[in-house]
């Protein structure tokens, strides 16, 4: 018996969006998101017998969690794509630019998935200037499933729009590999934390820190966007990907060290979140640098032994006096 292929909604096409292009990269990028929300909603209605309240719930999850960041990861796909196409003296048509922005939104959906899940694990309060999704009274721990839905929508976007593209399997495997790498980084981040009242700084060193930076942040925040742009441009030379990876990982380390600093000293009104790294007993650039300056790995400089004890007594605690 021949299996019947499940009906799928039509791919998003570029002409309508290109015809109304504003010339502003971010505005054009947001128009593609609006198209995707319609497409994904139509896809769910076409392929699954979901009640109206469920469709509205999914719509809220997408519009609340995905498009409110700086969008630099998503926007970078088109910029990298244009750079490589320019290097090969190839034009970038509106249709091709639209494809690059579709891939950019795959990165932003991945970012949303990570952040919704990470906020639950960290018990965070705000994200991007608004309450964390799980903090909404009507959401709560349903956000665990919502984060998984956001991740799977990536592969729905790819299937709906790139199934016949020669690099389709490369897009899928690249995002899967980076997701796996990021989850390993999240594991390192979480397992490096000590239980409250049991602070042991032995694992708080730059080797541990940079490994977390590399796997948890650098791959998905920088390398993924560049690699997607390269793959869309038809780049197959593995050496070029190796060079791009090396550069992106170095940038990612700097970015995360800066993020650690902002978590401690940044204004929540500016950075869009209330930092909780110290309360969560996390291995960050701030505490590792402090321990290094105190000579912790050598047993502590004589004049800094007291400082180390004060740090041990206060780090990883949420009381205001600490």
260 is catalytic: yes
State yes or no: is 70 an active-site residue.
yes
Segment 15-40 shows an average pLDDT of 81
**What does 6-36 look like in DSSP terms, one character per residue?**
PP-PPPP-SHHHHHT--S-HHHHHHHHHHHH
Q: Which of 35, 43, 260, 277 is an active site residue?
A: 260
Query: Would you say residue 5 has pLDDT above 50?
Result: no
More confident residue, 173 or 23: 173
From residue 151, give the alpha-carbon distance in Å to each of 58, 147, 233, 274.
13, 6, 24, 25
118 catalytic, yes or no?
A: yes
Q: Flag whether pLDDT at 20 surpasses 60.
A: no
Residue from 192, 175, 214 nearest 74 by CA: 175
Is 216 among the catalytic positions? yes
**Confidence grade of residue 308 (pLDDT, cut at 50, 70, 90):** confident
* Residue of 131 and 298 predicted with greater confidence: 131
Which one is catalytic: 31, 214, 216, 273? 216
Quick check: is 113 catalytic? Answer: yes
pLDDT in tens, 42-54: 999 999 999 999 9
Active site residue 177: no
Active site residue 189: yes
Q: Exactly one of 127, 156, 273, 282 is catalytic; name it.
A: 127
Active site residue 206: no
Please state, rounded to an integer, the average pLDDT across all residues of the chain.
Answer: 89
- Per annotation, catalytic residue among 122, 159, 206, 245: 122
Q: pLDDT-derived band of residue 280, with 50, 70 and 90 as boundaries?
A: confident
Catalytic residue among 28, 43, 146, 189: 189
Residues 6+ apart with CB under 8 A from 133: 61, 64, 65, 116, 119, 127, 139, 143, 146
Supply the pLDDT for residue 307: 82
Torsion of CA 181, 167, 160, 146, to 10 degrees: 0
């Amino acid at each position: 018996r021949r299996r019947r292929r499940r009906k799928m909604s039509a791919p998003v096409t570029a002409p309508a969006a290109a015809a109304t292009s504003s010339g502003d990269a971010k505005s054009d990028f947001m128009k593609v998101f609006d198209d995707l929300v319609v497409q994904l909603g139509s896809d769910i209605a076409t392929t699954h017998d979901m009640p109206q309240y469920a469709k509205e719930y999914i719509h809220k999850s997408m519009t609340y969690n995905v498009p409110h960041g700086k969008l630099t990861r998503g926007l970078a796909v088109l910029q990298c794509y244009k750079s490589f196409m320019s290097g090969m003296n190839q034009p970038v048509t509106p249709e091709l630019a639209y494809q690059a922005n579709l891939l950019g939104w795959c990165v932003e959906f991945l970012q949303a998935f990570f952040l919704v899940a990470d906020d639950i694990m960290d018990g965070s309060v705000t994200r991007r200037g608004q309450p964390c999704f799980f903090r909404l009274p009507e959401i709560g721990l349903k956000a665990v499933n919502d984060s998984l839905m956001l991740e799977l929508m990536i592969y729905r976007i790819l299937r709906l729009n790139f199934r016949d593209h020669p690099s389709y399997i490369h897009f899928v495997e690249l995002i899967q590999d980076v997701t796996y790498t990021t989850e390993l980084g999240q594991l390192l981040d979480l397992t490096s934390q000590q239980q409250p009242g049991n602070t042991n700084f032995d694992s708080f060193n730059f080797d541990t820190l940079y490994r977390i930076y590399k796997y948890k942040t650098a791959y998905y925040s920088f390398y993924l966007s560049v690699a997607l742009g390269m793959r869309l441009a038809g780049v197959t030379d593995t050496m070029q990907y190796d060079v791009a990876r090396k550069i992106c990982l170095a940038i990612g380390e700097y970015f995360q060290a800066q993020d650690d600093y902002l978590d401690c000293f940044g204004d929540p009104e500016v950075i869009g979140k209330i930092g909780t790294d110290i309360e969560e007993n996390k291995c960050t650039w701030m505490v590792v640098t402090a321990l290094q300056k105190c000579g912790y790995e050598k047993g502590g400089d004589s004049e800094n032994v007291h400082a180390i004890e004060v740090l041990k007594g206060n780090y990883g605690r949420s009381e205001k006096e600490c």
